Structure 1
Amino acid sequence: MLLFATYGAVSLRLQERMLTTGYDLGIFEQAVRSYAHGQLPVAELKGPGFPLLGDHFSPALAILAPLYRIWPTPVTLLVAQAALLAVAVVPIAGFAQRVLGRRGGMVVAFGYGTSWGIAQAVGFDFHEVAFAVPLLAFGLVALAEGRWRAAALWSLPLLTVKEDLGLTVSAIGCLMAWRGARRLGAGLAVAGVLGSALEILVVIPSFNPQGRFTYWDKMPSSVAGTGMQHGLGDVLYQFTLGLITPETKATVLVMLLAPTAFIALRSSLMWVCVPTLAWRLLSENPDYWGTNFHYSAVLMPMVFVAFVDGLRLWEERPRRHALIVAGVVAALLLPKFPLGQLLHRDTWHTSPRVAQAHRILKQIPDGATVAASNRLVPQLADRTLVSVFGFHGSGL
């Protein structure tokens, strides 16, 4: 409950202070609003009548439709995200307590709850990956404890969250097979690959106005080109170099492991991180490389479950030292990311300029067609047909 309240407070204050954006909170609100009215998701912010299933495959958003129908406001999405991110601590802390004892469980719960990847997601609007975080937490804990059927059942719904997560499902299946559940693991691995392939190559292009998947920039085109001209050694060198250069990429890898005192590397569960890290770090898009935005949220349950799994075979004293280091690192990082905003006076103060803007927006009638700045869009998306003024691809 404390994490839920903390995440909710950060998100809602950002919304009240007009620090959320049309890209992405407004887009997701328009999608959920469509579902709530019994329609396939449409985002006018992406273009007139743009079908959002032609952008990303995220039918899991429909789960929020009944809540949005009752409470049609962006607050619904932000509160739901806070709940989804917070509930993931339950299996992680429970697993840690069973392995490390009560104090160890508290340290791991603090580490996950204040982790920078979760904090960045909370501090940047709403995103569909919030659904993936608890699914991964429950699924990976089940995998670590050898509960194969539960691990598979928690993992399969990831296919409805986002198209790239099928590769994560496949990685979980491969680990399951390697750890002993060969038939079930192999089936899950195949289902993950086929699911992502079907969504990327068939479903999304069938909805997309241009008839294609528009995020091929996640693919390492420079590495692929190298493979056509050079030998295997050059390809492997370029591939490895692409994972750690420029410096931003190496930084995010260190930041990922530091809150676990690098102990997570001792667990084979860290292989589940590979699909997400690969498409991000080998992408041509620099936005994917660092610690910003929501892209690292799905990595947090992976890393902290791997942390506990990596400590299982250690004796009491080394465990205690590792937990102390992890707790100190988590505490030092906390003020540097959005959860630290709760300690700032400005977070709890609404400026006269923002208050005046709220009063002006109330004058816009419901159902109006409006072009607004990116920061004003989430204030209007629940009751108007709104687009981002001057933004390429916007609805007006």
Structure 2
Amino acid sequence: MSGSAWPSPAARRRDLAAVAALTAAAAVAYAIHSCVRLSRFRAGAYDLVIFDQAVRAYSRFEAPVSMVKGVHNGFGPGFCVLGDHWSPALALLAPLYWIHDGPATLLVAQAVLLALSIPFVWAYAFRAASRYGAGGGRVAHPVAAAYALSWPIAETVAFDFHEAAFAPLLTAVALERYQAGRGRAALLTALALLLVKEDMGLLLAGFGLFLLTRRRDRWPGALLVAGGVAATLVATSVLVPRFGGRTGYYWAYWTLGPDLPRAALHAVTRPGDVLALLADPPLKLRTAALTLAPVLFTALLSPAALALIPPLLERLLASTYPNWWTPRYHYTAFVVAPVFAAGVDGALRAAALMTRRAGTRAGTGRAARLVRGWAMLVLATALALVPFFSFGASLTPAFYAETTRTRAAQRAVAAVPDGALVEAADSLAPALSPRTRTLLWDRTPRWAPWVVADVGVRTFPFAGLRQQVERVARLRGHGYRVVFEQAGYVVLTTTPAPVAARSRMSIPAAATAAAKGALGRRRPSDRPATAHRATPARASHSAGPGGPGGATASSRDAASGGTGIRALTRAAPSRWGQPRTPVARSVSMSGSTLPRCAPQPSSAAATTAHHAGSGGPSC
């Protein structure tokens, strides 16, 4: 940024020092918030462990496999996350795992990435205000602070880790570079968004719509619109299935049609249905309003707001995945920087319009005062919204408190040995992921040698505590023994009890226990005759019958339609181009044998089951 924008070198140093301090403070605050949630067992397997397992694999130069995602969602234990979302940008975080291997690394990285977008939002506001004679720093400082406190950033920080962490930085850099006249740098940065998520082509198309309003950039704008839409189609239809995903797995527009061609035809021939869908349910309109509220809706006065249209329509036209249109989670982070950039531009345009009839000098002075007043109101709005979103929790002592359940959770995870294959309750899985092979404790039994259950509070993906209690009872009935139980946490295992513990049993009791175990292994009647019926959730496969002390591992695998634990425990290491496969080269999932980390056939039934069970956030 040119030094001529400041009245003196001292003013320049003060402004740059202020934005640097704000950026550093935001990074620290974001990291503390996320890491406190992690240490207090408020993070989850969905979605933190998914990314933890994938980035750990990247750090070992292996395919980005997430066993917890693959097993829960019916893809198999060797599922590549690139088959879930096209996010190769995650590989950039792999070197950080050479320094510290664990989920906290992702949370700190996310905090830094989000904070690094602040200087570019500040620079955009500073340059725009300076051009209008509004005093750059007096507008840019409150706008940047409001951005740092904004609810889309807060919800992203508070919901584990996601690829959305890259989006605010890349979009802010692209907009600031374009404003500075560096079109090539802006284009390259915008293109990098295509490595963040498969639908970022829609945001790229939105940038193209904005460029169409500028005479000298109409051709590049048209290319961005066409190229962005094409990139999204290629990512969702070619790249994601190539890495083991299912075409249409995240299709959410069933009200319009079962696929893109029929949905597009419906939208063109019956536009009234599209308008009705934008307000059904009404929460969609409230979320759209909240998206623009941080800048007091002045973004609507800027052509830059056109960039918001495709990504917002993607969410608001959905008829499934209600998390997409709620003002929670990380989804609004993809557009938060464009919202603030358009808000600044819209405020300056409004001020200029309101003072047009005044003389040149008087009008400029009045416009400057209006814009500075707007900036202070934007900051006041951000502060007023803090208690209503996730950052508000960090203002209370309870957020940092270590409770009885927290201490019990620490003991529960400590009871599981390193390297074990373990099914862990959603909130406990992040603590186990760095040192065990972690699966989600699910409605579907996986029959892992270790299980860490939670019967104290309802946990994802169960519908209620009763289901969780029944799952623990079922494990006990199939030969699992309890090694820890406190404050609602139960640790169970199939491993033999220590010799010292067994020696305390009387000889008759030991003989009786051995006889019961032998009978349990031999009697087919001890095994359930039908598969456990899964309640609606993300998993599309049914629970498997049998269990330790009932059927053998191989027979349970064949009968249950669940993940073969024998295959899981015999997994071989993977390399790029050589899928991470067990010795048997395949695993049984939902009754079909599918290659691991390889393209899998599209299943309409599985997709339908998935849509019926989108009860929780998905990565």
TM-score, normalised to structure 1, is 0.93
1:270 maps onto 2:293 in alignment: no
Runs of 4+ in 1 over 6 A off after TM superposition: 223-231
Cα contact 1:148–1:176 (8 A) shared by 2:
no
For 1:214-262, what per-residue CA distance to the aligned partner results, in whole angstroms no more than 9, with x for missing partners? 1112565369878868984xx2222122223322011111111111111
Amino acid at match of 1:148: G
Partner secondary structure for residue 214 of structure 1: coil
Amino acid at match of 1:339: F
Amino acid at match of 2:185: A
**Cα distance between partner residues in 2 of 1:229 and 1:361:** 52
1:53 maps onto 2:105 in alignment: no
1:341 maps onto 2:393 in alignment: yes
Partner of residue 554, structure 2: none
Partner secondary structure for residue 387 of structure 1: strand
Partner of residue 41, structure 1: 64
Partner secondary structure for residue 42 of structure 2: coil
Partner of residue 318, structure 2: 283
**Cα distance between partner residues in 1 of 2:368 and 2:137:** 13
Partner of residue 126, structure 1: 161
Partner secondary structure for residue 371 of structure 1: strand
Cα contact 1:21–1:125 (8 A) shared by 2:
yes
Partner secondary structure for residue 331 of structure 2: coil
Amino acid at match of 1:355: R
Partner secondary structure for residue 29 of structure 2: helix
Q: Of residues 419, 428, 449 in structure 2, which corresponds to 1:376? A: 428
**Cα distance between partner residues in 1 of 2:58 and 2:388:** 37
Cα contact 2:208–2:307 (8 A) shared by 1:
no
Partner of residue 218, structure 2: 182
**Cα distance between partner residues in 1 of 2:271 and 2:400:** 51
Cα contact 2:58–2:94 (8 A) shared by 1:
yes
Unaligned runs of at least 5 residues, structure 1? none
**Cα distance between partner residues in 2 of 1:320 and 1:182:** 32
1:161 maps onto 2:213 in alignment: no
Amino acid at match of 1:162: K
Partner secondary structure for residue 168 of structure 2: helix
Partner of residue 342, structure 2: 306
Deviation at 1:324, TM superposition (A): 3.2
Partner of residue 195, structure 1: 231
Change (3 A) 1:37 1:239: same
Partner of residue 390, structure 1: 442
Partner of residue 281, structure 2: 246
Partner of residue 13, structure 1: 36
Amino acid at match of 1:108: V
Which structure is richer in relative contact order (CA contacts within 8 A, separation 6 or more)?
1
Cα contact 2:267–2:274 (8 A) shared by 1:
no
Amino acid at match of 1:140: L
Matched length: 393
Deviation at 1:299, TM superposition (A): 1.7
Partner secondary structure for residue 216 of structure 1: coil
% identical equivalent positions: 37
State the Cα RMSD in Å. 2.2
For 1:121-155, what per-residue CA distance to the aligned partner results, in whole angstroms no more than 9, with x for missing partners? 10110000111110001112223444321210110
**Cα distance between partner residues in 1 of 2:126 and 2:235:** 38
TM-score, normalised to structure 2, is 0.61
Partner secondary structure for residue 438 of structure 2: strand
Change (3 A) 1:193 1:344: same
**Cα distance between partner residues in 1 of 2:141 and 2:307:** 24
Deviation at 1:292, TM superposition (A): 1.2
Partner secondary structure for residue 18 of structure 1: coil
Partner secondary structure for residue 258 of structure 1: helix
**Cα distance between partner residues in 1 of 2:249 and 2:275:** 26
**Cα distance between partner residues in 2 of 1:220 and 1:138:** 37
Amino acid at match of 2:307: V
**Cα distance between partner residues in 2 of 1:221 and 1:268:** 29
Cα contact 1:144–1:309 (8 A) shared by 2:
no
Deviation at 1:173, TM superposition (A): 2.8
Q: Of residues 63, 76, 83 in structure 1, which corresponds to 2:112? A: 83
**Cα distance between partner residues in 2 of 1:67 and 1:56:** 21
Deviation at 1:298, TM superposition (A): 1.2
**Cα distance between partner residues in 1 of 2:272 and 2:177:** 36
Range 250-259 or range 370-379, more displaced: 250-259
Matches within 5 A, 1:225-236: 232=269, 235-236=270-271
1:106 maps onto 2:119 in alignment: no
Cα contact 1:152–1:188 (8 A) shared by 2:
no
Change (3 A) 1:94 1:284: same
